[in-house]
Structure 1
């Protein structure tokens, strides 16, 4: 791994997953892929090498709405270091939501991309139900969706009474340039402060060996509102669909996070902006202590 830049104190990795002992934390039967194990200890060791002090554990699709592994990671790491984003469904009780809040959950993820959802009406219904459940808790809603779908839902998204977080460059694709469908609408949501964008998993937006192709999009997003940018590693870099059968273990992407962080540091206009992305914005959104 290439050496990463000197990171400011309080740097937060806003998008990681854990895949724990399957005997204790079984995978969802209806999952679309099977990842290899990714332990809490391995995540912590990586962050210690990089100089990352805080982390957000995001519930991955392979566990469905069973958040046990994510909650175990939060309890192990402690709220001084970790926060979480859960997945809920219509069977999740108010008592379960309250317990999650106590454990350090600060948002819920709506994953429209894993099922290839492109219907704006269905997405709208799903989001409104989710927001009704979590708005009283002060949580945000994290969306993994295509850029075109986010654009089609932009008016509704801008009216929601919760912060929004768009995964993985809001689904923008580097090869489509800065005029691609949905980007203008997402930029307006970012400019208005309604939505955060995770500058995460650039290999989902371009080929893994073409990191530099993300520079124009990254600079554009930062320029529109640096107070709504977040960084996430997407560790352990799962690669859904790399095997034909959902039960076959999919190898992760091979990612040099030192190189990724160096690129982000070079694309941010100055050190103060980089600190916003790595420290200040996640501290505000996830409720870390100053």
Structure 2
């Protein structure tokens, strides 16, 4: 299965336009000005061709210099890119995990870093949503007492002290990731993130990436901007500043639109 392609095929036309702007806009990388089409040229193509161009560009930006020089960027898989990003962000990604599970792990890890920036009222609302979702679901086994009040502890700092089975952990991680993705795609979350963006006086370029487009197109740049400003990642490599927001976008799209299947 090509997990990169399946997520892109779930995206709306607006979300594809957002990703095109993210990947093809010319920035500080000199290669951006060498045989790189303008975003408008990509958007003018039919949907299948646009998806193909986004895939190619994403792999090119994720590849190292040697791979680019050897013209082997097309051989780079989405799974390899996720492991590469996980290593860059110091996020443990087990090799036994499915590719989509690794994607969700990265989404959860980055979201957990933004958790403390959310108002307490919104934190409580999120916890309530997750608890309600779990109450309506057949759990593979009983939920530990430590998680019954706040299931989101599964991805917050200190969760390593929790002793639960791998089956239950996988189930909870998928449920929590799905609820977080849905929450950040709501109007209230959008309002919170855009307000925070305004207070941080971020650049107009960052705002332009998504705030005039779809809800997901607005939330993803907002979350990413929190990481840049609050975690001091201003010196982040140019290409990581593009491929990581795209991974967040794909994770949200997949988690909010694909049916939840637990092995």
TM-score, normalization: structure 1? 0.29
TM-score, normalization: structure 2? 0.31
Q: Answer 1 or 2: which has greater helix percent.
A: 2
Q: Which structure has the larger Rg over C-alpha atoms?
A: 2
Q: Answer 1 or 2: which has greater strand percent.
A: 1
